[in-house]
Amino acid sequence: MTYKNFTIETDADGIALVTWDMPDKSMNVFTVEVMDEIEKILDQTVADDGIKGVVFTSGKSSFSGGADLTMIKGMFSMLEEEKAKDPAAAVQKLFDAAGRMTWLWRKIETCGKPWVSAINGTCMGGATELSLACHGRVASNAKSVKIGLPEVKVGIFPGAGGTQRVARLANTQDALQMMTTGQTLSAARAKAMNLVHQVVEPGELINAAKQMIKDGLKPVAPWDEKGFKVPGGGIWTPASAQLWPAASAILRRETAGNYPAALAILKCVYEGLQVPFDTGLKIEQRYFTEIVQTTEAYSMIRSLFVSMQELNKGARRPSGQPKSEIKKVGVVGAGFMGASIAYVTAAAGINVVLIDRDMEAAGKGKTHSEGLVAGAVGKGKMTKDEGDKLLSLITPSDDYGTLADADLVIEAVFEDRDVKKAVIEKVEAVLPEGAIFASNTSTLPITGLAKNSKRPVDFIGIHFFSPVEKMMLTEVILGKETGDKALAVALDYVAAIKKTPIVVNDTRGFFVNRCVLRYMSESYNMLIEGVPPVMIENAAKFAGMPVGPLALNDEVAIDLSYKILKATVADLGENAIDPRHMELVSRMVEKEERFGRKNGKGFYDYPAKPAKKHIWPGLKDFYPQQKPDAVNVKTLQERFLATIALEAARTVEEGIVTDPREADVGSILGFGFAPYTGGALSYIDGMGVKTFVELCERLAKDYGAHFTPTPLLKDMAAKGETFYGRFDPYGEAAKAA
């Protein structure tokens, strides 16, 4: 029998090597077709008396990334369509669909012949669950091996036996930690947790897997044997009596109750360990069916799984543009941002010329990369040879003539129009015809900067976020005259350095910074109202933000906020800002000399380690303080989320953001907007635009006109629309189909 996605070779010892190698895909993923073929292979190998066991492996550099986009989309589409006809039948169909993988893996586990999973590269989600259902597991010791159950990061949880098998193999604390955080394991760590039996050299992977079968591997899972005991003794032990209350408390502290899937993991493990294994699988299946129906799961999967993959694959790339061959990039400005841009570019294997006013300044920029490389080598994330190769691609220079053969030049100089004008003119004097010029400005409109260019059609914005090597988002900004080629090259470059791009039209602050400034601005309002600073920070975290607005302002730098306020007044007039904000920030900078983390003094104090940062006690003396009991924490949470979501809606209304996927992904990756909501626009869609408008009207009445819902929101509320409905990113494709 032949298969589309698998090959089977049986050796002289009767061991069938099943190799998963999907045609036309760079990574193996689970589809309905793949699962159907696995079941047929299972039936075929069981029926064949000549086959003594099965080794299951991948023909690609990675094992599998888990479920396919189309399968995930199909599950939600089915649920939506069926619920409209018969809600009860829809849930039953969802329950059955959720159990498809669960019971197929159980069928492998109980088939009577030993299966060994030979793991190379990435092994995530359902692929890890398949491996756990095999009777033996061998992993390569290559650094590329990553084993994990990351489902909680997209709003669901390991629902194909993961919660039951991990908790029966590893100790309960490690199992909960792994699954509730979506932790990725190295092969060695997986072995230490008892999730993998052997770790071998890459070239020995298949031989070692086959040897397990030759050595008499029992085709029975530990929990199917009489007398099996859960590691640590199970639920009813003194150790568990200490573990479970602590686990619940830690989860509450880390998630503020915002992630139903994380809590469902605790429930699945706690309940599942008290019953027979098959009953545990049914418990898991029921919880999974429940979680998939939540707004959080729908929104997170759409934004953090589906939309992010679509954007990474070039959803916004203009059609008809050939793929760019970016061989050399110039970075002008060897300060912190420019040096970091040079580092990520070289890490992608691209030659970089790092230019500054003199060789000393340019050399300092390369020193930054040397420090990053030394840190990576020291942590074992990079070999010395890999580090040396990366550094060899960075050439510091003070000669603009070295850009004469660059494909792309990125300026990352000081945020000053005159400084940038001088750089643009110097670069264009040597830049070859057809090469692209990009500005890394964080606030200055691209159209205005492009007026200094002789070829604005080749001028674009590429806005990086700090620290560049860690932040996954990049804003690509279109000036009024930016052409399709410039956009295509920018997106190809962002893909090469493995960042997620969002494409936005030109405006002051673009998308991310406009939203971030609203977040920090609302914290100023709260300080002025006398809300205790600690409550401001905690309310933001309870709302799902990773960092409180005052801590974020310290990271950004309070003196930078001061410069932005002054620049806004200079460009737009006194009425463009709240004078109370100017008074607060100018006092912090000019009177108190508190600039933020960079000088160890901001809204927080930053004592020497090991002491932790803490709110500056003097801050509470700025304004008369409200009593904590008089402050409604839920309202504080609503204010933070609503003010950001309102700004995101304004950018759509102004035509700055044209694709809701980009607003959602950009808000989460750019500044950590409450990921459980699916992003700023999904937050609105999730509660319903009408409900959001009512919330804003209430907040506007109590806390100021800046909460007034926009005309677009009122119109959408009246028509019962959503952002993903009105601004459907798939609309044109659907019509074409």
CA separation, residue 14 to residues 206, 533, 610 (Å) = 14, 69, 60
Nearest to 264 by CA among 292, 240, 287, 289: 287
Q: Are 576 and 618 in contact (CB under 8 A)?
A: no
Nearest to 148 by CA among 22, 63, 257, 247: 63
Kind and range of the H or E element at 115? strand 115-119
The tokens for 239 are: 């150790």
Tracing tokens 């976020």 back to the chain, one arrives at 465
Residue 614 is a catalytic residue: no
Nearest to 27 by CA among 60, 70, 76: 60
The tokens for 255 are: 């998630």
Q: Distance (Å, rounded) from C-alpha 193 to C-alpha 530?
A: 49
CA separation, residue 414 to residues 343, 422, 564 (Å) = 19, 11, 14
CA separation, residue 430 to residues 316, 342, 406, 437 (Å) = 30, 20, 9, 12
Q: Are 428 and 481 in contact (CB under 8 A)?
A: no
Cα of first residue to Cα of last residue in the chain, in angstroms, is: 35
Q: Are 132 and 178 in contact (CB under 8 A)?
A: no
Dihedrals φ, ψ of 501, to 5°?
Answer: -95, 145
| Helices then strands, each counted (H, E), the chain | 31, 19
Question: Residue 367's Cα: distance from chain center in Å?
Answer: 29
The tokens for 725 are: 């409905």
DSSP string, 455-509: -GGGEEEEEE-SSTTT--EEEEEE-TT--HHHHHHHHHHHHHTT-EEEEEE--TT
Crossing angle of helices 512-529 and 579-586, in 10° steps, is 80
Strands 6-10 and 15-20: antiparallel
Query: Could you tell me where the beta strands, DSSP code E, fall in 321-467?
Result: 328-332, 351-355, 394-397, 408-411, 436-439, 459-464
Residue 495 CB partners (closer than 8 Å, separation 6+)? 312, 314, 501
Nearest to 490 by CA among 427, 442, 440: 440
DSSP string, 247-310: HHHHHHHHHTT--HHHHHHHHHHHHHTTS-HHHHHHHHHHHHHHHHTSHHHHHHIIIIIIIHHH
Q: Distance (Å, rounded) from C-alpha 196 to C-alpha 61?
A: 19
Kind and range of the H or E element at 124? strand 122-124
Kind and range of the H or E element at 122? strand 122-124
Catalytic residue (one of 368, 463, 581, 614): 463
Q: Distance (Å, rounded) from C-alpha 238 to C-alpha 234?
A: 10
Q: Which residues belong to the active site?
A: 463
